[in-house]
Chains A and B, each alone.
Chain A
Amino acid sequence: MSVTPIEHVLVHVTDALATDPRVAELGLAAHLADEDAPPPRTTVVVVEGNVSTPERKANVVTVAAEVLEDAGWHAVVQDRTLLTSPVPPVDGAEDL
């Protein structure tokens, strides 16, 4: 059985990060790290973007790894997402 090309799997990883309720962050991007590294190399998938709670951030690697494993890829997932939370504004009003 052939393995699904990683380019296709990364699309499904991004989709899962958006739709799986454990993360549900629409703006995350998954891509390969060290794409120019010489073989043999470990497949490393990097997830980047903003997440809004620690719980969601904690599930990024789990959700991404599940999709990769289901597709036959035993990759290392690196979570490079940034945790963001709302803070009061410091700027004044914009006059219109």
Chain B
Amino acid sequence: MIRLAAVGDLHAGTDSRGALAAAFSHVAAEADVLLLAGDLTRVGTPAEAAVLGDELRSVPIPKLAVLGNHDHHGDEVAAVVATLAAGGITVLEGTGVRLEIGGLTLGVAGAKGFGGGFAPSAVSAFGERELKRFVEHTCTTAARLRNALGELTGCDRRVALLHYAPVRDTVQGEPPEIHAFLGSQLLAEAVDAAGADLVLHGHAHHGAERGSTPGGIPVRNVAMPLIGCAYRVFALGAAVPAGAPGARA
């Protein structure tokens, strides 16, 4: 059994010191790995990243993260990533990590993702250069996610970690006018193409917790303002062999 603790949108600021650590003090007893689904910081400064690293420093399980839009706001991404790494938090962007847990191999592939919306209202790469760049960024991050998942061959379980939502299901509750800025169906297409057992994301604070990709892969929105607590825990058992009762088609 692999146990994942996951949360997004912690939004640590320099005024968050002392506000987060207590909520994570028992996470190691409940989970084997802590996944952070972006928006780790308030405005994307190394100082804020240092606060988060310090707050989670005593959490003795692997800590994997993707960045969110807030973490990009300060245009100091490299410094933020380095500061988080110094605090024991590994940031994934088009990359994956393998972890040996209880005799099983967990693969986690991460990418920030981006917007563009969901069918039938998805944005197309047509017209102004700025709009084409917007969609191209989504295409790029979706391709990175697909590649990262594809490289995690041989894992017993694979998880896709995003900040932006891959499906409309988990942004329901947000104003429809902003759905295109909350995620993109291209991310779900990437996950369905490469395969995964679970997709985790944040960003949609007023969305819904549960959904699934068109291919049937469970999607969970773990934005902290939505889940109302420090993290959710998910348990992944050993994969059911193909062809056996209960196996994914």
Is B one of A's binding partners?
yes
Q: Which residue of A lies closest to B197 (CB)?
A: A96
Instruction: Give 6 closest A-B pairs by Cβ, nearest first.
Output: A86-B230, A93-B233, A86-B23, A93-B235, A89-B229, A55-B15
Contact yes or no, B229 A87, CB < 8 A = yes
- For residue B20, which residues in chain A have a CB less than 8 angstroms away from its CB? 86
- For residue B24, which residues in chain A have a CB less than 8 angstroms away from its CB? 86, 88
Question: By the criterion of a CB under 8 Å from any partner CB, how many residues of chain A are at the interface?
Answer: 22
Could you give 5 example pairs across A and B, Cβ below 8 Å?
A52-B16, A87-B228, A87-B229, A89-B229, A95-B234
Q: A56 at interface (Cβ–Cβ under 8 A)? A: yes
Contact yes or no, A96 B198, CB < 8 A = yes
CA distance A87 to B19 in the complex (A): 10
B222-239 at interface with A (beta carbon < 8 Å): 224-225, 227-237
Contact yes or no, B233 A56, CB < 8 A = no
CA distance A93 to B235 in the complex (A): 6
Q: Which residue of B lies closest to A55 (CB)?
A: B15
**Known contacts A50-B205, A88-B26, A96 near B13 by CB under 8 Å:** no
Q: Which residue of A lies closest to B237 (CB)?
A: A95
> Which size bracket describes the interface of B in this complex?
35 or more
Question: How far, in Å, is A10 (CB) from chain B's closest CB?
Answer: 15
* B interface residues, Cβ below 8 angstroms from A: 3, 7, 10-11, 13, 15-16, 19-20, 22-26, 30-31, 42-43, 70, 197-198, 205-206, 218, 220, 224-225, 227-237
CA distance A9 to B225 in the complex (A): 27
Contact yes or no, A89 B16, CB < 8 A = no
Q: Which residue of A lies closest to B223 (CB)?
A: A27
- For residue B237, which residues in chain A have a CB less than 8 angstroms away from its CB? 95
- For residue A88, which residues in chain B have a CB less than 8 angstroms away from its CB? 22-26, 229-230
Contact yes or no, A84 B233, CB < 8 A = no
CA distance A84 to B227 in the complex (A): 12
Q: A86-B230, A91-B232 are in contact. List 20 more A-B contacts (CB 8 A).
A: A21-B43, A52-B13, A56-B15, A85-B19, A86-B10, A86-B19, A86-B20, A86-B224, A86-B229, A87-B229, A87-B230, A89-B229, A89-B232, A91-B229, A91-B233, A93-B3, A93-B234, A95-B235, A96-B197, A96-B198
